[in-house]
Chain A
Amino acid sequence: MTASDPSVLLQVEDLRVWFDTPTEVVRAVDGMNLTIRRGETVCLVGESGCGKSVTGLALMRLIDPPGRIQEGSRITFEGNDLLGLSEKQMERIRGNDIAMVFQEPMSSLNPVQTVGAQIVEAVRLHQDVSRKAARAQAEEALALVGMPSPKERMGNYPHEMSGGMRQRVVIAMAIVCRPKLLIADEPTTALDVTVQAQIMELLERLQDEFGMSLLHITHDLGVVAETADRVAVAYGGRVVEEGSAAEIYGHPQHPYTEALLRSIPVLGMTHTQHPLSVIRGMVPGGAHWPSGCRFAPRCDYSFDLCAEYPPMVDLSSGQSAACWLCESGPRSLTTLPTAGLADV
């Protein structure tokens, strides 16, 4: 797929975001590749230290010093080079073509402004409309995100709302200008599980209605399974495996993906019957990536070739993994614990 492929909305190539601290350089994102098509949900999944959050911020060019997007990174949005734009041009894109939603709604909202005022502000930043028209759009946005009695809610302050409602407000602000891409960084992690279900259903509905693409950044493998069209597993500042949700969960190829899936408890599992496997060691941290395969020190299958970083190998319809074991074809694995559960 080339940058001129019209179905590709966003293309990230060799993204590197490094942080200069007085003692060391932290390479939080170190060669990230990602493709997002129109209307698609891509889940970028990984644990802390893998660079997924920084990637999201980089896409919006929200990286402040001491962080810096390195030379050689390419981010192409609708065929245009995003990194070459001026700050003013970028401001026209943020909130308008690409919008972002964060984990903690309370820190995204101004506590001394009403909710309505904040959405109106989002509208008027990008559209030359009257205040009245902007208010109408804001109300409509609140209704769209499933807020009960939207008109009354416009006058509420953030602290007068519950966590789920605040997240809806933040989403309303993000979609009010009908962006083509929504980046959601752990949007449901801070929410209770029943509210989480509501928000996920909301995001899905919005996508269907507007044909919006969604980059969902998360660590929750359950959320990923339910929402993703494509999954990108990140480790060590790079994508180590990519594929459709069915492929990743059905036959994960990269040992890290496999280890992750084996280490999470799933409903129905008990410690006596399905002991969790453990990934030994810890994430080394962005300043100390090992040379060669970054997962090798913790990997149960590592061998001598792993001293050199493996290339991303295409395995089938779209699944690819960066592992030497996959060079000669897909790996077959012993059944995963999730395979034993009822599937509807």
Chain B
Amino acid sequence: MADPVVVSGGVPLGTAAGIDASTARGKRGRRPNNYLLVGGTLVVVLALLSVLAPLLAPADPNALGSGSPLLPLGAPDHLLGTDMLGRDQLSRLLYGGRITLLAGFSAAILSAVFGVLLGMVAGFLRGPVDSVIMRVLDVLMSFPFILLAILIVAFAGPSVFHALLAIAIANVPFLARVIRGETLRVREYEFVVAATALGASRTWILLRHVLPNVLPLVLSVLFVNVGWMISQTSALSFLGLGAQPPTADWGTMLAEAQSYMALNGGVAMMPGLMILLAVVGFNLFGLGLKQILLPEDGAR
């Protein structure tokens, strides 16, 4: 009747006047958000390492022979060893990380911007605009993800920028779909009708009502997406389609590491490990963010 009913196991528990749903979920309580904690730590650490790379790196990452080749982990002056060409791995990882993380993040933002734009417009306007946008995106989606990326890079020429652009474009349809779904949900709310009744134009409603209500979903999906983008841009670099020598990101380092895997296993594992940590970190952070921004009790 009046207040929303709290449900437990499908059985109505009573009205929210007596049991505040959001309190029950600990929104104002002290329940720790582990995902946010662990993921956030990883993300922050990685970000700091990247930003402070010039200060932290003991050597020039591209300097050949700054140490003897294939030094193991823990060697003096070369904490993470050296590769076949004698380059200090720690420095390479730090500088490489900048590129990988930046590429992943930029790709995520780029695909988010276009995904939100297209998804919101399609979902809000419906009709022929919706159909056209969605069909175009469907075509894009029907290409295998990596193939599409390779096609774009092959067309434009290999570079980090093209790689991240390709990954971003390939990912737009997925994001647009999600945002479109959310827009469809939000536009059914009566406050959209209320705004129309007040005299609001459709642009006003899109920017002032739909976007702010869609944003929590975007933000939480964004960070999970960064993880995905990192792994995909690294994949392209691994294939030689991303960063070109002498610049290296974790993807190219992973490719190089293949050749001395048997000789210096510990050092060879590091790029892969870093990618893993980055992806896991951003994924967890995104999930944690989702828990805060989109509480499950439907009280959005």
Contacts and interface: CB of A to CB of B under 8 A. Distances in A.
A148 interface: no
Interface stretch (A51-59, A291-299, A316-324): A51-59
A62 B29 contact: no
B1 A21 contact: no
B9 interface: yes
A203 to B, nearest CB: 19
Contacts of B20: 21, 26, 285
Contacts of B11: 57, 62, 64
Interface string B10-53: 11111101111001101011110000000000000000000000
Interface in A184-212: 185-186, 189
A23 B14 contact: no
A62 B12 CA distance: 9
A269 interface: no
Nearest to B16: A48
Contacts of B28: 22-23
B8 interface: yes
B29 A26 contact: no
A51 B10 CA distance: 19
Nearest to B30: A22
Contact of B9 (A19, A24, A64, A104): A64
Contacts of A186: 1
A285 B24 contact: no
B13 A64 contact: yes
Contacts of B26: 21-22
Contacts of A219: 1
Q: Which of B3, B9, B11 has the most CB of A within 10 A?
A: B11
A47 interface: yes
Contacts of B12: 53, 57, 102-104, 107, 185
Contacts of A19: 18-19, 24
A286 B19 contact: yes
A83 interface: no
Contacts of A54: 13-14, 18
Nearest to A220: B1
B29 A21 contact: yes
A49 B10 contact: no
A330 interface: no
A51 B23 contact: no
A66 interface: yes
Contacts of B299: none
Given A62-B11, A185-B12, A49 B29 contact: no
B9 A49 contact: no
A67 interface: yes
B15 A48 contact: yes
A28 interface: yes
Contacts of B8: 64, 67
A26 B21 CA distance: 11
A283 interface: yes
Interface in A84-133: 102-104, 107
A189 B15 CA distance: 14
Interface string A144-157: 00000000000000
B1 A28 contact: no
A24 B30 CA distance: 12
Interface string A59-83: 0001110110000000000000000
Contacts of A67: 8, 13, 19
B147 interface: no
B2 interface: yes
Contacts of B10: 107
Nearest to B10: A107
B19 A48 contact: no
A125 to B, nearest CB: 17
Report, nearest first, the 9 A-B pairs whose CB atoms are least far apart: A22-B29, A49-B17, A286-B18, A48-B15, A64-B8, A28-B18, A54-B14, A48-B17, A48-B2
Interface of A: 19, 21-24, 26, 28, 47-49, 51, 53-54, 57, 62-64, 66-67, 102-104, 107, 185-186, 189, 219, 283, 285-286
Given A49-B17, A186-B1, 14 more contacts: A19-B19, A22-B24, A24-B23, A28-B14, A48-B1, A48-B17, A53-B15, A62-B11, A64-B11, A66-B24, A103-B1, A104-B12, A185-B12, A286-B19
27 contacts: A19-B19, A19-B24, A21-B19, A21-B23, A21-B24, A21-B29, A22-B24, A22-B26, A22-B28, A23-B28, A24-B23, A47-B2, A48-B2, A48-B17, A49-B3, A49-B15, A51-B14, A54-B13, A57-B12, A63-B13, A66-B24, A67-B19, A103-B1, A104-B12, A189-B1, A285-B17, A286-B19
